[in-house]
Chains A and B, each alone.
Chain A
Amino acid sequence: MNGHVEDWLAAYLDGELVAGERAAVESHLRGCGACARHLEELAAVDAAARELPVGAPAGYFDSFPARVRARLPVRRARRPPAWVWAAAAAIVLAALTPLTFQKTTSPVPDAPRTGETDAFRPAPTTPPAAAPAPAEGLLDAARDRGAAAVLERNVAPERKDEKRREKEKANATAPAADGRTSEYAAKLRPQPPPASSVQKHSGPWAQSPAAAQAQTAARGEEAQQEAPPEPKKQAEPAGKSDRDQARAGALADAPPPAAAPAFAEAPGEDRYRALLGRQASSPEAARKLHDDWNAFARGHPDSPRADEARVRAMEASALAFDLGRDPRDRERAREAAQAYLARPDAGQAARVRALLARLEP
């Protein structure tokens, strides 16, 4: 190493040089005061930067944990192991099989299902979700594998077990039956099922075993053929679709599955995130942001985001005042803050009080 080693100093300082490089730099430093001084200055820069304080508004950390909690999605409780579902299915089948045999002289009009005979077999050795289900040309195997891979990459870790079971269902699992992309798959979770297929998406994975049994019993014979309900239904015969609609009506009064909202995000999540990402650099933009946050809060009064939206709205007014010094903006923010503090559910009072204090003339 003949010349100066300035280009190596940062890596030397960070301990990122290999032994030979390090030895060469150290050798050079012993004989070069300029590089040695340069190294000291770089180290001083790091040390000084580490001591730079990072300020936050007063009271900010008082309300921060609660604000985060208000935005947390509800986590699904851990599911019972697969054998519990297998046992539950076995019990249901054992109870219902005699009834089914009694009705064999009265065939179901639109039930030429390939899996029908499976329903009469003794207790299954697999969990309900892995029970045989008709492929009926919905997906070819390659497409299924591709969709499964996409979902595997995008699925949240808490759904890995579910995804594994869905893989086992081979042709029956149809998250990609409608050609959803990986991005859509990521969004799949928060989307509520269509009203006409409520029971299709609320399979036993989303219910307590007791609820699953109760629903299965209510369905009678059909329950045997379809237990557990599969998420794919779109390509089934029209008669089957009619039957599903009728069943959906029959189940309308049933209580929602216990874990149904587990992965559901707050309503208006996309809009909420879009608002979060907006920055206002002019008073007009800040006022528009205020209006949009308020509209969100009014449009989703029961959302866990509504509280944050109300606070964000008044903060946007305060920002409009900061940017334009229009006292009307300050007054709007102050009124909103005072109204917020009068609410019985003011969860971010400390944050709003800090805002009010800042807005004092």
Chain B
Amino acid sequence: MAPEDPESGSAAPLPARAADHASMADPSEGDLLDKARGGNLFAFEEIVRRYQRRVYATAYRIVRRHEVADDVAQEAFIRAYRSLDRFDPGRPFGPWICRIAANLAVNHVRSPEAREDALPDGHAEMPSPAAGPLQGVLDAEARAMLDQALERLPAAQRAVFCLRVFEELSYREIAESLGISLGTVMSRLSRAREKLREALTPYLSVPGRAGSEP
């Protein structure tokens, strides 16, 4: 059973941000949001369809479990729907909904339930990921190594890393989202990157394997 790639759109394999940008350029999105504000559930369902992959990916990268990412993604859209009146139509919807998802995911990984809930061995519930556009950066072995290293990161460090690298939030935005200081953001991000770098060191140091030959 082939898994779905949340980063790919249904129509064209655009990167997530490019796909979101394209959808934002579609004037019908404003109409959809306006109808959703008026209570049109189907209009909001279309919004969900457009952003579900990106929101799911945001959640999954932080919580690292499909079931939890599913819950987080659903809850993110529900909260967004409830707060549509507060959403500024002049701003892009994608970053807003992703930040909601990221906050929910972070809240989950900080919860006692998440700490008690050990990650399954070898992602037993997840199909192996489909081949992605990895040309020139990582081979499968290095990718698996990096994925495992990400999973081993403390949740707090992983959350900061994800918000910075995937959501491209500024340090200040990360600090506000997580309710931590700028210094904590910097230290967690630095530690996370160092751990990931160490995990990738064998690949980074071999010419032609990691694409970043020093």
Contacts and interface: CB of A to CB of B under 8 A. Distances in A.
Contacts of A58: 1-4, 127
B106 interface: no
A61 B52 CA distance: 7
Interface centre among B45, B143, B189 (most CB of A within 10 A): B45
Given A45-B193, A71-B78, A51 B137 contact: yes
A64 B6 CA distance: 12
B6 A61 contact: yes
B38 A78 contact: yes
A74 B39 contact: yes
A189 to B, nearest CB: 10
Nearest to A34: B214
A59 B66 CA distance: 13
B125 A322 contact: yes
Interface residues of A, number: 59
A10 B4 contact: no
Contacts of B211: 44, 47
A200 interface: no
- Is the contact region of chain B dominated by helix, strand, or loop, or is it mixed? helix
Given A7-B190, A60-B4, A75 B117 contact: no
B31 interface: no
B166 A50 contact: yes
Interface string B57-95: 100110000111011011001100111011000000000
B151 to A, nearest CB: 11
Interface in B135-176: 137-138, 142-143, 146-147, 150, 161, 164-166, 170-171
A33 B214 CA distance: 9
B130 interface: yes
A55 B130 contact: yes
B132 A50 contact: no
Contacts of A60: 4, 56, 70
A105 interface: no
B24 interface: no
Contact of A156 (B82, B126, B161): B82
Contact of A71 (B74, B86, B142, B146): B74
B16 to A, nearest CB: 10
A43 B212 contact: yes
B164 to A, nearest CB: 6
Contacts of B1: 57-58, 354, 357-358
Given A54-B56, A65-B49, A75-B81, 6 more contacts: A10-B186, A53-B129, A54-B5, A55-B5, A61-B56, A322-B124
6 contacts: A44-B212, A49-B166, A54-B5, A55-B129, A58-B3, A68-B52
